[in-house]
Chains A and B, each alone.
Chain A
């Protein structure tokens, strides 16, 4: 457990609160719809990276299928919004346009309940959670660990992606669900450019960070971390290791599903590329760059990486070389900052000793590389 709680909890809380304040007042300095939308999009990535940190950083489960939860959440929201679109292109009342094109005659049964926002929002969180529960039970009861869990989640991601693209009649196929109505709830309209959408996302991210912090500092959270460090030792103490691992996976999936729903609001469409391998790997990269064992670190990692990526690719000089630069940056971070950018913050002396940090950075101490606080 070495490396934990280097900073006292109050320092952490101050850091988290400062972050929340920053993202809440940022819109005051943004005058452009497009920039606000872009920022909102980065915050959503922050949320989904933070979700990965719960399972990866705190419970040692590298879920390479994080995009499944994200994508399913996104589709749940998009289905509800799609049913509210005025089908200007088809003339067939009540049936989404792509179904008309695919000669579907009546709304499929699993689309029906999405007429209700309540159901859609619940589904956006619960569908990924239940799926994670099934996968977790299936995998962890057999004591499958480490890289094998990653391979299983990766394979399932590939399968689900194939199915969504293949069942075009029901899912919109490769095009995804487009031409969506904006979400209207509590008298507010959450369309991609609305401040309401931005604040919804910022508040969600802030709440999720504090909620996550509460979980990882609870007894459950401590056991999760103990499992990450030595699974068998925890088992000998009589804990049900699989249950804790499954819990971590489910919590992570629920947050990722919620992030997916927000992503639909920001992008105004849902696409099978949201639940594909590149997105899944990106989430892992964000979390790793920021600091996998820190919720705030992961969230900021996502915001920084996508922000740098966005501004690099926006710069004419880097139009063709921005991917080269991003690739090199990842390698450098992995090599020289194994605990992510957040480990730079740990250098600020607030109770942690410099010597311990130095020790942790060397190979022996960071056996798993996931010991940061």
Chain B
């Protein structure tokens, strides 16, 4: 781990530089390395945007996280110690994410931080967690190809969303795909994976296009749908653009029975905002749907709705945001009170299992990603998804799945010569 040695050198040099160049007495005292839980409380950071663009979704993650913390505390905490959430608002801005993460890690000495929705914000805070050996719990489905030992990833990676989905689409609708996504790394990487899959299946990409984030005018895109007549519109458009795309799709007279949208990013949250009639007949692949029937999910949905109103919905990001806190608590419970530091929590979290709303999940001991239960849902008039396919077993997370020879290990990514 290159990070370790680099950090030591950096600190030494920086201290020397301060003293040598300016001759000031070194009265500042460096924090001694690791965050450590002290006293009867365990401080954890909660870092989801409450203002700005992505507050649309991140407020629900904030709520699910705080609810899980309350549940844990109500059940007696972690070996009798209460979890104390330190909530910050990173305002949907990567720079503010970094500033608040520094506060939580260095200032507040939280032993773990739950946070982030976008990859950009995760990338912005990552150096802080690596440098201070802290632990970041990231609930969002993302593009994979990352292998940090300072992150626990509880959202789906491409193999968990696409492995079963793309063949299913080809079998049921046809081989001609139009790839449409928002213009950033997640859609581009998911589409890379989709293209690799389609190549194996003899499929064809008739169009690939990215719209600016926040885009809401899809008339030209829909014109292209009409002209290229794909069998499947493979969508990784995110946020409010999803709502605009679905509405304008139907208003333009397109028919989901002939040309369905197959999405990795459309959840109950967006469907509620667009209205069931516009989502009807389109498909989403995700490990969790609100309509999934399990005792754990019934309890989860009931708790969210009693706390945040009967119209509140759960989705495939808020569910991991919820269960990852329980995984954290289980890991922490395994440790002696005096030994509660981010690296020990990480070690304890590896292999940890939890009966989540979507099914039994497990954190992989090699790559710190999570075993999940892929499902395919068809959107219904009432805003819920009908689950029409479901993986028979949990699916192993493989962040480098589409790239043979690359494997994520506790030592970082390694290249295996084939």
The answer to whether any beta carbons of A and B sit under 8 Å apart in the complex is yes
Closest chain B residue, CB of each to CB of A180: B127
- Does B76 lie at the interface of the complex (its beta carbon under 8 Å from any beta carbon of A)? no
State which residues 4-63 of A face B: CB under 8 Å.
Answer: 27-28, 30-35, 37-38, 41
Segment at the interface with B among A146-154, A161-169, A288-296: A161-169
CA distance in complex: A90, B50 (Å): 34
- Does B91 lie at the interface of the complex (its beta carbon under 8 Å from any beta carbon of A)? yes
Say yes or no: A319-B87 contact (C-beta < 8 A), given A32-B106, A188-B21: yes
- Does A204 lie at the interface of the complex (its beta carbon under 8 Å from any beta carbon of B)? no
B interface residue count range (under 10 / 10 to 19 / 20 to 34 / 35 or more): 35 or more
- Does B14 lie at the interface of the complex (its beta carbon under 8 Å from any beta carbon of A)? yes
Say yes or no: A175-B119 contact (C-beta < 8 A), given A194-B14, A196-B21: yes
Among A88, A176, A180: residue with most chain B CB under 10 A: A88
CA distance in complex: A188, B12 (Å): 10
- Does B353 lie at the interface of the complex (its beta carbon under 8 Å from any beta carbon of A)? no
Say yes or no: A175-B185 contact (C-beta < 8 A), given A33-B30, A86-B2: yes
Question: When the two chains form their complex, are residues A32 and B2 in contact, meaning their CB atoms are under 8 A apart?
Answer: no
Q: Inside 8 A of B123's CB, which chain A residues have their CB?
A: 175-176, 178-179, 269
Q: Inside 8 A of A320's CB, which chain B residues have their CB?
A: 50-51, 89
Q: Inside 8 A of B38's CB, which chain A residues have their CB?
A: none
Question: When the two chains form their complex, are residues A193 and B14 in contact, meaning their CB atoms are under 8 A apart?
Answer: yes
Question: When the two chains form their complex, are residues B184 and A195 in contact, meaning their CB atoms are under 8 A apart?
Answer: no
Question: When the two chains form their complex, are residues B98 and A267 in contact, meaning their CB atoms are under 8 A apart?
Answer: yes
- Does A330 lie at the interface of the complex (its beta carbon under 8 Å from any beta carbon of B)? no
Question: Chain A's nearest CB lies how many Å from the CB of B180?
Answer: 15
State which residues 183-197 of A face B: CB under 8 Å.
Answer: 187-189, 191-196
A contact residues vs B (CB 8 Å cutoff): 27-28, 30-35, 37-38, 41, 86, 88-91, 98, 101-103, 162, 165-166, 168, 173-176, 178-180, 182, 187-189, 191-196, 199, 267-269, 271, 273-274, 278, 310, 313-314, 316, 319-320, 322-323
CB within 8 A of A271: which of B94, B183, B188?
Answer: B94
Question: When the two chains form their complex, are residues B88 and A314 in contact, meaning their CB atoms are under 8 A apart?
Answer: yes
CB within 8 A of B28: which of A27, A174, A191, A192?
Answer: A27
Say yes or no: A178-B127 contact (C-beta < 8 A), given A33-B31, A91-B406, A319-B89: yes
Say yes or no: A313-B124 contact (C-beta < 8 A), given A175-B184, A196-B18: no
Q: Inside 8 A of B192's CB, which chain A residues have their CB?
A: 103
Closest chain B residue, CB of each to CB of A324: B51
CA distance in complex: A278, B92 (Å): 12
Question: When the two chains form their complex, are residues A175 and B120 in contact, meaning their CB atoms are under 8 A apart?
Answer: yes
CB within 8 A of A174: which of B9, B15, B120?
Answer: B120
- Does B378 lie at the interface of the complex (its beta carbon under 8 Å from any beta carbon of A)? no
